[in-house]
Structure 1
Amino acid sequence: MYPGIHAAAHPDKPALIMADTEDVLTYAQLEERSLRLANHFRSIGLEPGDHVAIVAENRFEIVEALWAALRSGTLITAVNRHLTPDEASYIVHDCQAKVVLLSGGLEKADELAGLCADVETRISIGGPLKGFDPYEDTLAAASDVKPAYEPRGDDMLYSSGTTGRPKGILPEIKDQAVDDPNVPLVQLFTQVYGFDTDSVYLSPAPLYHAAPLRYVMTTHARGGTAVIMPRFDPEQALAVIQRYRVTHSQWVPTMFIRMLKLPQEVRDSYDVTSMQYAIHAAAPCPAEVKRQMIEWWGPVIYEYYASTEAAGLTLISSEEALRKPGSVGRDGYMGTVHVCGPGGEELPAGETGLVYFEVAEGRTPFQYFGDDAKTAESRHPQHDTWVTTGDMGWIDEERYLFLADRTSFLIITGGVNIYPQEIENALALHPDVRDVAVVGEPDEELGEIAVAYLEPEDHVDPSRDLDNEVRAWLDGRLSNFKIPRRFHTIASLPRTPTGKLVKRRLDPTLARS
């Protein structure tokens, strides 16, 4: 399904609402504007399978461009707006975009525009850019006549690049009309989370990320309304839930933590009882954080473990999470989970190894765009249909999956494995710590040692010995060998807006030890 179906039935219904300005884009407007942009793509010679890139802040045009791609058979890459011009330009060129849409309101937009001067078609959003055609002029000049057949396109998003260059994930393209209701992702979200015409979905996260973009797409496929925050603010998020009677939302654990740290009287002043599904993913959620959210919002907290690659999926409900604290759920939705050792051997319950998904029958394993070597690295050594994104974990006797950490983050100190996520979880709710990252650093005696980087809360006096206070706080909460050997206080951790730590950017020279 697509917006045209709902535009015919409910033309004035809000498809999108901007939470800050309360601007509304109706289904009739979304239908016409996405159709005109899709027709423009066709008029300049784009064919199914060609690539389009967009770099913008959270705004209506991202969703219009998404649906223009979906109804023209093209592949759209939404680029992280927080990247440097060089980093963003790398993705625009790596995806071989024939069209780039760029917001003139972004910092360093002019520099990025210059780096994209060789892209065939360049369109500016929300402000002029040299060498770019204005978006509104482009729509006005395009046809509003709906073609007899609109082939369905898809997104081709990039991994977060937390351990290196981002990688484009090439979706499987099928010959399918955009109004064909048999879209596996939409069907899955509808089945599991109950999206329908009455759904009001809140996106507090950037729309360039896979989950928010795909949940907005699902909301529109089902005829609901998506409310978009320009950026996350903990109290504002609660106000938006109350204002629009939000039924569905998607979060990352750092957002939960920020909301939980609001004063109790602030939390109690907002009505969040409309929420039916508060979905979270992107990073492991500390069990204590999840328990407190369930106590506050009720059993509406749902977690899934997946990836931009859509390699596989596990799900867990509030009730299961309380019974299995720390688990990210069970498989059976998009393939079977296997935990394997260094040689590819499958490990028994309780043993930690590399997490693979056996791709479900009828699905094709993902590919990294233009990178056969990285694609090969993601495959199991003996099973071509078992794929991994590098996470480690274990399965218990009931097949609940628990994540340990990425293989690249594992710390081996004196021959003992330390998983940074466990230490980070222990510190997540420390009242004076806003954020924390734990990494391994070389040590002559032990090979590696665990080192913690602390981002303090605003109220913490710089003269306080926070490092030693936190070290003492961990005593009794973690085994002695897991407590970091060194602590650094740092002004701001390199975390993406989707909640993932970019640990390779941590620099000890910027820290106050």
Structure 2
Amino acid sequence: MEAVAPSVAGAPAIRCAGHERDYPSFLDRAARIATGLQDAGVEPGDRIAVVLRNEPAHLEITAGAALLGASAVPVNWHFRHDDLRHVLTDSGSKVVFAHTDLLDAVTAVLPDGVRIVEAAVPAGVAAACGFSAPPPSGAHPLLDRWLEGYAPLGQAAGERPPTVIYSSGTTGRPKGVLREPVSPGRLEEGVRLFLEHFAVGPGGRTLIPAPLYHASPSQHAVLALAAGLDITLMPRFDAEEFLRLIAQHRIEQVQVVPTMFVRLLRLPKDIRERYDLSSLTSVVHAAAPCPPHIKHAMIDWLGPVLREYYGGSETGAVTWCDSAEWLAHPGTVGRATGTCGVAVLGPDGKPLPAGATGDIYLKPGDGWPRFTYLGDPDRRAAMEAPGLPGYVTIGDIGHLDAEGYLHLSDRRNDMVISGGVNIYPAEIEGCLLALDGIRDVAVFGIPDEEFGEVLAAHLETEPGVLLSAEAVRAHVRERLAGYKVPRAVVFEELLPRDESGKLFKRRLRDPYWAGHDGAI
């Protein structure tokens, strides 16, 4: 194992790509941003947009808005054209903070009357993302100079509104989740639960490798700041850099998505063994199903430090399980904790017995802020469980086992009905990821005259690997039922995923359905 020089021990800080901010400086800048927003006409209850990559300024702007009683809207900086226009317009943001290289995309769709504050791209962030940092445009106030013109906000808001997270738009137009403001007492309780479930102590060291425009890393960062943790941000995920940062900063806690596990496991063994990961006490994952063989491999590598939760932007984490629970209930995403609840309902809206698959409904914990969808209260109302007040669905299908542990099957929108049989693509994707040479996979339904739908598998292979469609089908046929064998097998150079690992199946599926109305 190659020793990596650890960072110098000291007071907790926020760092990213070679740049570090101590907490006093961070809090001073956030308070100045709050005054600047106030001067720009932002009031409690308003929203401001953040079109920035991961870096300390992203968190400072979010904190500054909260001090004023306003909500930050972290925007997927990959968005362009209609998606970006929709978020900026739908959110009603009064001010947009944007990195210099993203200004053209923002100004092209900027609603009338909205102000822009420009943020220079830190050189380390640009390098990590594979481009050279451009010079400031000179067309808008530059963040560092802009905030210097204001004194720190004198009186902070009593209640802090959470960020407004927009979905990635994988199945349609992104929707904004608007949550009610959080009182100091509820925030304190949220921090307590965060430290308990993430198995990290006050002042501990955490690493955030996923984009802050997603719900989990955004909430992670907010709670880590409130807990005073030492925070390392990654501008983008790179498997070996992830290991290097853990070793260098003696990281104790990280939160990842299963795609990152896959990429880590594909590193050559000598690279994986090069870095000292013994500081890790908690590796939390969520956001997507994790194939069982991948999770077994991660536990074998890192030990019983894996923790998994299940929930959504709307509900927060509802179920949890540690490594021992998962090994005792393979494939589970945990069981409800505290005041949270889980129910699996059938088509008649009644609870199903253990082992029966149906629609999953979640009850957030008592401390989780209530929510609605911006401009779409009907959609919010449609999520409610009939006869179960407080339970909502985020569109997943699964079952509870006899001990109350939840097992996911798939997204309701991803389920394929072929010849009257329900097929869950996630199971087939997990099977295909176990095939040597497969780097990534997407399975979905395509139209068929006889069966209504049949399966298509789009595959991304490792460099230099040659596989035939028949070899792929044979692999599935040997392990799963015949009706789960993909009819169409397509090899892609790169499957469309965002930086958190979320797969954009819609981009693959839509061309097959062009001209169809959903029925054959």
TM-score (norm 1): 0.91
- Aligned-partner Cα distance in 2 for 1:68–1:473: 53
- Aligned-partner Cα distance in 1 for 2:26–2:333: 36
Q: Deviations over 1:194-247 (max 9, x none)?
A: 333331111111111111122122222122211111111111111111111110
| Aligned match of 1:162 | 170
CA RMSD of superposed structures (Å)? 2.0
| Aligned match of 1:354 | 359
Task: Choose from 485, 488, 493 the match for 2:487.
Answer: 485
| Aligned match of 1:26 | 22
- Aligned-partner Cα distance in 2 for 1:254–1:182: 31
Task: Choose from 70, 80, 83 the match for 2:79.
Answer: 83
| Aligned match of 1:229 | 234
| TM superposition shift of 1:93 | 1.1
| TM superposition shift of 1:305 | 0.6
The AA in structure 2 aligned to 1:124 is E
| Aligned match of 1:331 | 336
Residue 115 (structure 1) aligned with residue 120 (structure 2): no
Q: Deviations over 1:127-186 (max 9, x none)?
A: 534753211221011112532655423211112222111111111224x35xx5744432
Residue 125 (structure 1) aligned with residue 130 (structure 2): no
| TM superposition shift of 1:331 | 0.5
The AA in structure 1 aligned to 2:340 is G
Q: Deviations over 1:316-369 (max 9, x none)?
A: 100111111111000023521000112212111111111001344565642111
- Aligned-partner Cα distance in 2 for 1:284–1:350: 18
Matches within 5 A, 1:292-441: 292-310=297-315, 313-361=318-366, 365-441=370-446
Partner-residue secondary structure (3-state), 1:202: strand
The AA in structure 1 aligned to 2:217 is P
Task: Choose from 33, 37, 41 the match for 1:41.
Answer: 37
- Aligned-partner Cα distance in 2 for 1:402–1:378: 20
Listed as ranges, the gaps of 5+ residues in structure 1 are: 1-11
- Aligned-partner Cα distance in 1 for 2:153–2:381: 44
| Aligned match of 2:11 | 13
Alignment CA distance shift 1:221-1:280 (3 Å): same
| TM superposition shift of 1:51 | 0.5
- Aligned-partner Cα distance in 2 for 1:232–1:494: 16
Listed as ranges, the gaps of 5+ residues in structure 2 are: 1-9, 121-134, 513-520
Residue 74 (structure 1) aligned with residue 70 (structure 2): yes
Partner-residue secondary structure (3-state), 2:429: helix
- Aligned-partner Cα distance in 1 for 2:181–2:339: 17
Between 393-402 and 82-91, report the one with greater CA deviation: 82-91
- Aligned-partner Cα distance in 2 for 1:361–1:59: 32
Residue 172 (structure 1) aligned with residue 180 (structure 2): yes
Identity of aligned residues (%): 38
Task: Choose from 504, 507, 511 the match for 1:505.
Answer: 507
Between 407-416 and 214-223, report the one with greater CA deviation: 214-223
- Aligned-partner Cα distance in 2 for 1:490–1:507: 14
Q: Deviations over 1:92-149 (max 9, x none)?
A: 111110111111133xx31322321524321111153475321122101111253265
CA contact (8 A) 1:73 1:154 kept: no
Between 157-166 and 469-478, report the one with greater CA deviation: 469-478
- Aligned-partner Cα distance in 2 for 1:433–1:343: 40
Alignment CA distance shift 1:305-1:220 (3 Å): same
| Aligned match of 1:470 | 472
- Aligned-partner Cα distance in 1 for 2:275–2:367: 45
| Aligned match of 2:142 | 134
CA contact (8 A) 2:359 2:396 kept: yes
| TM superposition shift of 1:191 | 2.0
- Aligned-partner Cα distance in 1 for 2:339–2:62: 24
| Aligned match of 1:64 | 60
The AA in structure 2 aligned to 1:449 is V
| Aligned match of 2:262 | 257
The AA in structure 2 aligned to 1:141 is G
Partner-residue secondary structure (3-state), 2:386: coil
Q: How many residues align?
A: 489
In the TM superposition, structure 1's runs of 4+ consecutive aligned residues that sit over 6 Å from their partners are: none
TM-score (norm 2): 0.90
Task: Choose from 292, 312, 320 the match for 1:287.
Answer: 292
- Aligned-partner Cα distance in 1 for 2:454–2:336: 34
CA contact (8 A) 1:72 1:150 kept: no
- Aligned-partner Cα distance in 1 for 2:369–2:227: 26
CA contact (8 A) 2:299 2:305 kept: yes
CA contact (8 A) 1:199 1:219 kept: no
- Aligned-partner Cα distance in 2 for 1:363–1:157: 15
- Aligned-partner Cα distance in 2 for 1:129–1:14: 33
The AA in structure 2 aligned to 1:456 is T
Q: Deviations over 1:358-397 (max 9, x none)?
A: 3445656421111012112211233342201101110010
Q: Deviations over 1:265-293 (max 9, x none)?
A: 11111111100110001100011111110
Alignment CA distance shift 1:148-1:398 (3 Å): closer
Alignment CA distance shift 1:263-1:311 (3 Å): closer
CA contact (8 A) 2:195 2:202 kept: no
